[in-house]
């Protein structure tokens, strides 16, 4: 598995273990496509009833997260925060504004608890 795939696996596990995130996202059912723009690679994460999991594609994504592989690995591993790359355009997130905001909150809360 790619470094991004490994990172997303750990990200999903950490989200699912985190009781506060489980509670926050209990009503958030979304399919997220994470797609590096410098590699022919796609990863899918399903958030359902507070639990996140890396899954195979099973429909159209609600959110599409794009950027260079190293940017995506850095954000989903907690090495950097998503806000600045998002504002600078190095991270692109397509979806509803509410979903983009929620993903931002999850990324900011998941590491270091």
Partner 1 sequence: MKTVVSVSLGSSRRDHAAVLTILGEDVQLARRGMDGSIERALDTIHALDGHVDALGLGGVDRWLTVGPRRYTVPTGERLAQAATATPVVDGTGIKSVWEPMVVQRLAADGILQAGQTALMVSALDRYPMAAALDAAGLHLVCGDLMFSARINYPIRTLAELQELGDRLVPEMVKLPFQQLYPVGGDQDAVPDPRFVSHFEEADVVAGDFHFIRRYLPGRLDGKVVLTTTTTTTDVDLLWSRGLSIMATTSPQLDGRTFGTNVLEAALVAASGVQAPDPRWDDIVRAAGLAPFVRRRPAREHA
Q: Footprint of partner 1 on this chain (CB under 8 A)?
A: 20, 23-25, 27, 81-84, 87, 97-98, 101-102, 104-105, 108-109
The CB-of-34 to partner 1 minimum distance in angstroms stands at 20
Rg of the Cα trace of the chain? Answer: 13
Q: Which is nearer to partner 1, 20 or 57 (CB)?
A: 20
Q: How many CA atoms lie within 13 A of 5 on its CB side?
A: 9
Q: Which is nearer to partner 1, 68 or 100 (CB)?
A: 100
Q: Which is nearer to partner 1, 27 or 58 (CB)?
A: 27
Q: How far apart are CA 88 and CA 99, in angstroms?
A: 19
Please tell me the total number of residues recorded for the chain in this structure.
113
């Amino acid at each position: 598995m790619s470094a991004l795939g490994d990172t997303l696996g750990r990200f999903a596990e950490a989200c699912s273990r985190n009781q506060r995130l489980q509670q926050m996202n209990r009503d958030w059912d979304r399919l997220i496509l994470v797609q590096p723009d410098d590699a022919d690679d796609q990863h899918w994460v399903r958030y359902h009833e507070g639990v996140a999991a890396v899954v195979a594609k099973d429909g159209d994504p609600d959110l599409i997260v794009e950027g260079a592989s190293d940017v995506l690995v850095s954000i989903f591993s907690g090495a950097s925060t998503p806000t600045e790359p998002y504002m600078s355009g190095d991270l692109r997130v397509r979806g509803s504004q509410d979903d983009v905001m929620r993903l931002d909150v999850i990324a900011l809360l998941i590491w270091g608890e």
